[in-house]
Structure 1
Amino acid sequence: MISLQFLLTAFVVVVAPGTGVVYTLAIGLGQGRRAAFWAALGCTFGIVPHLAAAVLGLAAVLHTSALLFQLVKFAGVAYLLWLAWQALRGGGALRISADRKAPEPWAITRRGALINILNPKLSIFFLALLPPFLSGAPESATAEMLLLGAVFMIMTFAVFVLYGAFAASARDMILSSERAMRWFNRSFAAIFAALGARLALERA
């Protein structure tokens, strides 16, 4: 069940840059270590609905229902484009600025959770990732999937916190340069827009 192969597979998936990583880095750079912690927590909680969908079999429904998949997908695309706009506009939630007031932890956590909740591929990902590592006993399959999912979430949180701490450590250097702040704001906006475009091209 919780084998070395599973841990390595999960670690590779978690470490790979994605929307959650980009969001946590942006928050760490723009608002510091504490804010990055809440961003990591939000991204981790955003996994819960997809894990539940995989355990309950709803991910298979999402996979076979083109309309449902498209609805969730384009909601996710719209949200990523909104985040791109927030990185560009003055006073935006993701804009890096030396004189901005940090938002409430709840707002940071909520945005991080929505990033993952509105990604329909995560449910299908869990449906594909977890079953190969189950023992094969039908009576314990649900408990085993929940345990593996919990381990995946713990790894996600730990890695994202490290990403955020790394970004926060570079915060002072970034804030001391107007040019660097402009470059990072534009870069994060472009990355979120690109991730939105990639999600728009995804198929169930």
Structure 2
Amino acid sequence: MSISFLLTSLIVVVTPGTGVIYTMAAGLSRGTRASIVAAIGCTFGIVPHMLAAITGLAALLQASPLAFQILRYLGVGYLVYMAWNTLREKGGLTVDERTAPQSAGKVITTGILINILNPKLTIFFFAFLPQFVDPDEPNALLRMSGLSLIFMALTFLVFIGYGKFASAIRQHVVSRPSIMAWLRRTFAAAFIALAVRLALT
């Protein structure tokens, strides 16, 4: 493992995306535990992309425009759904303390779906991992698996950091409905922006 791999991975992980938005929304609405659960879901959502890259499915997706388009628009549709759900049902940003919390399973499932339906992750792994693996290396498959696990660990730790920050400022914003309403609109707009960016990629 090289320093360049760690730095590049860290830059990619720290850059805000759908997973970060979802984890912060969970932290703002239900505190640290919910943000950790969301981070777990988003991290597990990386696994299919990692396996796709390692087994060569990513190459098939690149070679098949139809497969890529289907996966991409599934992702776009899900992001739009997340935006609509955030506005309609207040999504993860529910200010009413009497509202029953979402189950850990539901939070994890949503986090997994958010990252599964992001084909850019598959393409990223396909283009990213080979740069740090010698093609003549006898254990290339094992090395790619190890690097992928390190990437996942970085994702989990960074997302927890985002979630803890969100939960730390939670009490300062939950008591102010106008701020929470603004945050709901902001998160919904962010999901829409990510959907548009994915659709135009």
Give the drift of 1:138: 4.2
Which among 71, 76, 96 is matched to residue 98 of structure 1? Answer: 96
Give the TM-score of the pair, scaled to structure 2.
Answer: 0.96
Residue 132 of structure 1 and its aligned partner are, at CA, apart by 1.1
The whole-number CA distance in structure 2 between the counterparts of 1:112 and 1:72 is: 17
Q: Cα RMSD between the aligned structures? A: 1.0
CA distance in structure 2 between the aligned counterparts of 1:76 and 1:124, rounded to whole angstroms: 14
2:200 maps to which residue?
201
**1:136 and 1:57 mapped to 2: Cα distance?**
14
Does residue 171 of the first structure (1) align with residue 155 of the second (2)? no
Shift in Å, 1:135 = 3.2
Q: Deviations over 1:106-146 (max 9, x none)?
A: 10111011111001111110011111111333421110100
Is the aligned partner of 1:71 residue 2:98? no
Question: Structure 2 stretches of 5 or more lacking a match?
Answer: none
For the 8 Å contact 1:47–1:117, the answer to whether it is kept is yes
Offset, 1:154? 0.3
Q: Find the aligned partners of 1:121 and 1:29 in 2 and give their Cα distance.
A: 27
Amino acid at match of 1:95: L
Residue of structure 1 equivalent to 2:37: 38
> What SS is found at the alignment partner of 1:148?
helix
Query: Which structure 2 residues correspond to residues 101-140 of structure 1 after superposition, within 5 A?
Result: 101-140=100-139
CA distance in 1: counterparts of 2:94 and 2:136, whole angstroms: 50
CA shift for structure 1 position 94? 2.3
Give the C-alpha shift of residue 98 in structure 1: 3.0
- What amino acid sits opposite 2:168 in the alignment? S
Secondary structure, counterpart of 2:139 in structure 1: helix
1:13 aligned to 2:8?
no
Q: How many residues align?
A: 200
| Runs of 4+ that moved beyond 3 A | none
Q: What are the ranges of 5 or more consecutive residues in structure 1 without an aligned counterpart?
A: none
User: Which residue identity lines up with residue 112 of structure 2 in the other structure?
Assistant: A
Distance of 1:105 and 1:36 partners within structure 2: 10
Output the CA distance in 1 between the equivalents of 2:6 and 2:27.
26
Q: Matched residues, percent identical?
A: 48
Q: Which residue type is aligned with residue 12 of structure 2?
A: V
Contact 1:89–1:95 (8 Å) recurs in 2: no
